[in-house]
Amino acid sequence: MTHVYLDAAMICDIGRRRSTNQDHGLASGGLFLVCDGMGGGVAGQEASARTIRHCESLIDRERRSKSDIATVIDEAQRDVCELGRELGGISGTTLTGLVLSNMGNVVTGEPYSARNDVSGFTDEDDDTIDGIAAVPDAVITARLDLEDLNDDTIDSLPDANGTGFPCVLDFDADTMPSWYVVNIGDSRTYHLDAQPGGGWNASSMVQVTRDHSRRQELIDAGVMLPELADQLVPRNLITQCVGAPEGIDPDYFRADLPGRFIVCSDGLHSELDDDAIAAIAAVNRDPRETVQALVDAALAAGGKDNITVIVVDTVCSPTDVMATHDGNATWSYVKIARNEDLSSISESTLDTLRTVAARHRPDNVGE
């Protein structure tokens, strides 16, 4: 039996310049998703809300496949397209985040749903920002040092005041899950490794998703260096969104469970560069402290857009169940091809997985 310890927190802040909040977030039942409605489109606020509502249909499923996620996204795509037609324009939203492939058995923690209303949260809404009890030191140590969770540690978890985080899930060896990481648009999902002795390794942070934006296309094509593209190409020229009349082609990734994930709208990464995000995420131990610190930093940098941030911490016990295909216990992720799912990843995809895993070994950090 493997214990999976899961802790998470979310803030959806209107920012300092906007009169409405077009962001929506979801943290419930193994789903951690962020939507950012198109500011220049029609009813971006409603587009993001509808997309999150469609994603909520996955909450009650014990197992989720890529096909299940794709079906929900297709339903949201049709719904948001219809919304645009009804309003005489185009309505759209980004979508990014994590979907746990298998919920296993919930040992402690109640079902939880954190989802902002249409008006969104502000930094004055303390009850919506931080509603759970402090995590005991024993659990923090287990999470950050990747020590084995045991029955005493599990029993010491707080009631969490009904929020359900932190919680522990149990899995048999043949049912161990992975994260699906999904992305449409320019909201982002990041990952950090835990470091020996506790804490999080800022230098290990990777952006799992790739922006669907004109800027990123020019960088990927070698037309512009990132520094020049940042100066010359507006960041809000996205090439995909839920609701695009020409259709969508979502990206799907498979990611190992352990580590700290950051799921965010561009209200965060447009104000803070990756180094700043990594530094803040590494120095703060608790997900609630981390989301608050990230949002505060984005507001201090200008807060020109709505800001939504979800931080998800995961640790597995025993840790060796997360060993990669060549036997090394290192975190890895890989893009899933269109005709693949977790059970049918090809050898070419596995070769990419092994390469990514090698890059994340401790002796290669920073290379």
**119: pLDDT strictly greater than 60:** no
Let me know: does 27 contact 58? Beta carbons within 8 Å: no
Res 329: pLDDT: 55
Q: What is the spatial distance between Cα 236 and Cα 267, in angstroms, rounded to a whole number?
A: 11
Instruction: Return the CATH fold of 2-109+156-357.
Output: Phosphatase 2c; domain 1 (3.60.40)
Question: What is the overall mean pLDDT for the chain?
Answer: 80
Here the tokens at position 355 are 């390469």
Res 347: pLDDT: 56
**321: pLDDT strictly greater than 60:** no
Q: What is the spatial distance between Cα 152 and Cα 40, in angstroms, rounded to a whole number?
A: 52
Give the whole-number percent of the chain exceeding pLDDT 70.
74
Residue found by looking up tokens 């092994």 in the block: 354
The vertex-130 CA angle with 129 and 132, nearest 5°, equals 145
| Sequence-separated (6 or more) residues with CB below 8 Å from residue 165 | 6, 7, 8, 9, 27, 109, 112, 132, 287
Burial class (CB in 10 A: 0-12, 13-18, 19+), 199: middle
CA dist 30 to 203, 248, 295, Å? 27, 24, 23
CA dist 261 to 119, 229, 288, Å? 26, 26, 13
Q: Spell out the domain ranges in the chain.
A: 2-109+156-357
Here the tokens at position 181 are 């990481």
Q: What is the spatial distance between Cα 287 and Cα 313, in angstroms, rounded to a whole number?
A: 7
Res 217: pLDDT: 77
How distant is the alpha carbon of residue 78 from its chain centre? 24
Q: What is the spatial distance between Cα 209 and Cα 15, in angstroms, rounded to a whole number?
A: 24
Mean pLDDT of 133-142: 33
Q: How many CA atoms lie within 13 A of 288 on its CB side?
A: 16
Mean pLDDT of 259-283: 97
Burial class (CB in 10 A: 0-12, 13-18, 19+), 173: exposed
Q: Over the stretch 184-225, which tens digit does the pLDDT of each residue have?
A: 999 999 999 998 878 899 999 999 999 998 887 787 777 777
With 0.75 as the threshold, say if the pTM is over it.
yes
**301: pLDDT strictly greater than 70:** yes
Q: How does DSSP classify residue 148?
A: P
More confident residue, 300 or 237: 300
Q: What is the spatial distance between Cα 276 and Cα 253, in angstroms, rounded to a whole number?
A: 25
Res 182: pLDDT: 98
Rg of the chain over Cα atoms, rounded to whole angstroms, equals 19
**263: pLDDT strictly greater than 90:** yes
Res 224: pLDDT: 77
- Pick from 64-73, 78-87, 220-229, 290-299: least confident: 220-229
Mean pLDDT of 137-166: 43
How confident is residue 344, by pLDDT bands cut at 50, 70 and 90? confident
DSSP bridge partners of 96? 34, 183
The b/e string for 72-92 (b: 16+ C-beta within 10 A; e otherwise) is bbebbbebbbebbeeeeebbb
Res 136: pLDDT: 34
Res 323: pLDDT: 40
Mean pLDDT of 158-182: 77
Let me know: does 195 contact 221? Beta carbons within 8 Å: no
Here the tokens at position 169 are 């899930």
Q: What is the spatial distance between Cα 121 and Cα 114, in angstroms, rounded to a whole number?
A: 11
**75: pLDDT strictly greater than 70:** yes
Mean pLDDT of 300-323: 83
Q: Which of 85, 78, 79, 89 is nearest to 38 (CA)?
A: 89
Residue type, position 309, single letter: V
SS3 (DSSP) at 48:
helix
**352: pLDDT strictly greater than 60:** no
Q: At what angle do helices 66-86 and 44-55 cross, to 10 degrees?
A: 150
Mean pLDDT of 331-340: 93
SS3 (DSSP) at 244:
coil
Q: Which of 360, 332, 288, 331 is nearest to 140 (CA)?
A: 288
